[in-house]
Amino acid sequence: MFTPIRLLQFFNLSRQVSVLFYAFLLPFLNFSIGEIGSFELLQILAYSLSFFWISGLVQGLMHIYPSLPIQSKQKMLTAAIFLFSLLTIFFVVFVGLSIYFNLSVFQTFSTIPFVWIFLLFLLFNTPAQLLEYSLFLEEKYQWLKISCLVSYPLQIVLFSIPLFWFNNISLGIIGLTLWAFLRFFILAFHSFSLSFHFDKKIIYPWISYSLPLIFSALVGGLASVINASLVQYYYHGSTAIFAVYRYGARELPFINGLFEGLGLGIIPSLIKNRKDGLFQLRKNTLHLLHLVFPVTIILMSFVNSWFPILFSDQFMDSIPIFKIFIFLVICRTIPTNTVINALGHSRILAIIGLLELAIHLIASYLCLHWFGLIGLAYATIFAYSFEKLAGLIYLWWKKGIIITQLIPFNWWLFYSILLIVSYFING
C-alpha cells in the first residue's frame, strides 16, 4: 500500500534509479571511458548548480506549508514555482556565458560537444523537480503515484532509444530535454490553476527559514563537488580517471531515495505532534533497516562479481572506492537533520554543515595525497560521521532526544556490525 510517505520515498527512489541506469547503460553500449567521464562531468555540473537551493527551499517548504491557511498554501506553491524557475534561469545563463567566454573554471566543459544541449535540459528539468513535491503537499496522492509510475520510466526510454539506435549521447540528451519539457509544461499548467499573489508575509518567512537550510545543504553537498574538483586537479583533468572515481563514489540509490523521502515526508508529523512523529519516524526507520541493510550486506559480499557485469571491466578499479562508500548507509539511517529541521532549529544545521565541510576539505586533500582515489572515500565517511555525531549531541543537549528515540538502536548496531564483517570477509 502506498502511504503518502512511501509515495515520496518512491519518487526519490525512481529519480535516483534513473541516474544509476545511465551509469549502467553507457558502458553496456561500449561508449569510451572518456565519453562516459564527460557525461559524468555534466551531471556534477547539474548537481553543483542546484542541489543546495533545491534541498533548502524544499525542506523549508515542508516546514512552513502545513501551518498555512488554504488560500496562502496556493500562493506559496505558485511563488515556489516562480522562484525555482527564476533561480534556474539565472544559474543556467551564468554557466552558459562562462562557457561561451571560456572562463578558466569552465574550460573543461567547453570541450564537451553536448554541453549546450545539456544546459537546455537543465533549464526545464531543474524547476520541474518541484512537481512531485507540489502534489505531495496538496495531498494529490493519486496523481503523485501516476507521476512516479509514468514519468521516470518515460525518462529512461527517451534517453535509451537514441543511444541504442544511433549510438549518440547528444541525441540521448535531446530525449531527456523533451522529457523535462513535458514535466515543466505540466507544472506550469498546474500553476495556472492556482492563485498567484506575491505576499511578503508568506514568501519572506519561507525564504528566511530556508536560508540556513540552503547553506547547510551547500556546505554538506559540496563534499561531492570538492572530491570531484580534487580528482580533476590532482590527475590533470583526466576524464578517464574521473569516470573511475565517479563510478566508485556511487551510493546505492535506494538508500538515498528511501531515507530522503522518509525525512521530508515525516516533517509535517513531527511539527504537529513531536512524540507521535518520533514514534512514526522510528517505526518507519525499522522497516527500512530490515530492507536496506540485508540488501547492502549481500551487495557488499558479492561486489567483485556483480560490479564488472553491471558496469563493465573498465571500471574494476572503482570497486575498492565503492566498497568504502557503501558504509555511508550506517550514517544515512540516523535522521538527525530531519528532527532538527522539524524543531525549527535550521541555523544549527548550517553551523554543523560548515564544520563538516572544513573537516571534509582537509581530510580529502590529505587522504587523496596519502591513499589515492580511495582516500576520498575515507575522508567522506569521516566527515559524514562527524555530522551525525554533532547532530545527536545537539538533540540530546537541547531537547533530551537520544538516538534510541530516532532509530531502533539494537537493530542498527547489529546490521552495522554485519556490514563491517562482510567487508573484511570479502577482502
Helices (H) and strands (E) in the chain, counts: 20, 0
DSSP 8-class letter at 128:
H
pLDDT of residue 371: 92
Cβ distance 110 to 116 under 8 Å?
Answer: no
Residue 155 to residue 68: CA distance in whole angstroms: 34
Cβ distance 145 to 2 under 8 Å?
Answer: yes
End-to-end CA distance of the chain: 40
For 218, counting Cβ atoms within 10 Å of its Cβ (0-12 exposed, 13-18 middle, 19+ buried), the class is buried
Phi-psi region of 139 (alpha: psi -120 to 50; beta: other; left: phi over 0): left
Rounded to the nearest 10 degrees, how much is the dihedral formed by the CA atoms of 19, 60, 284, 307?
A: 20
**C-alpha cell, 305:** 562479481
For 204, counting Cβ atoms within 10 Å of its Cβ (0-12 exposed, 13-18 middle, 19+ buried), the class is exposed
For 86, counting Cβ atoms within 10 Å of its Cβ (0-12 exposed, 13-18 middle, 19+ buried), the class is exposed
286 φ, ψ (degrees, to nearest 5): -60, -45
Phi-psi region of 102 (alpha: psi -120 to 50; beta: other; left: phi over 0): left
| C-alpha pair distances (Å), 55 with each of 39, 61, 114, 133, 423 | 23, 10, 27, 11, 32
DSSP 8-class letter at 345:
-
**C-alpha cell, 34:** 572518456
Q: CB-side exposure of 269: number of CA atoms within 13 Å?
A: 17
pLDDT of residue 2: 64
Residue 152 to residue 42: CA distance in whole angstroms: 20
pLDDT tens for the chain, 427 residues: list them: 567 777 877 887 788 788 778 878 888 888 888 888 888 888 888 888 888 899 889 988 988 888 888 778 878 888 888 899 999 999 999 988 988 887 777 777 777 888 899 999 999 999 999 999 888 888 888 888 888 889 889 999 999 999 989 888 899 999 999 999 999 999 888 777 666 566 677 788 888 888 888 887 787 677 777 888 888 778 876 777 888 888 888 766 667 767 777 777 888 888 888 888 899 889 988 988 998 899 999 989 998 888 888 877 788 888 999 999 999 999 989 999 889 988 888 789 888 988 988 999 999 999 998 998 899 999 999 999 999 999 999 999 988 999 999 999 999 999 999 999 999 987 6
Q: How far is CA 27 from the centre of its chain?
A: 23
Nearest to 112 by CA among 226, 237, 247, 244: 237
Q: Tell me the one-letter amino acid at 62.
A: M
pLDDT of residue 198: 63
Cβ distance 186 to 131 under 8 Å?
Answer: yes
Sign of CA dihedral 228, 353, 251, 362: positive
DSSP 8-class letter at 343:
T
DSSP 8-class letter at 180:
H
| C-alpha pair distances (Å), 270 with each of 68, 148, 267, 349, 369 | 16, 25, 5, 17, 44
Cβ distance 208 to 153 under 8 Å?
Answer: no
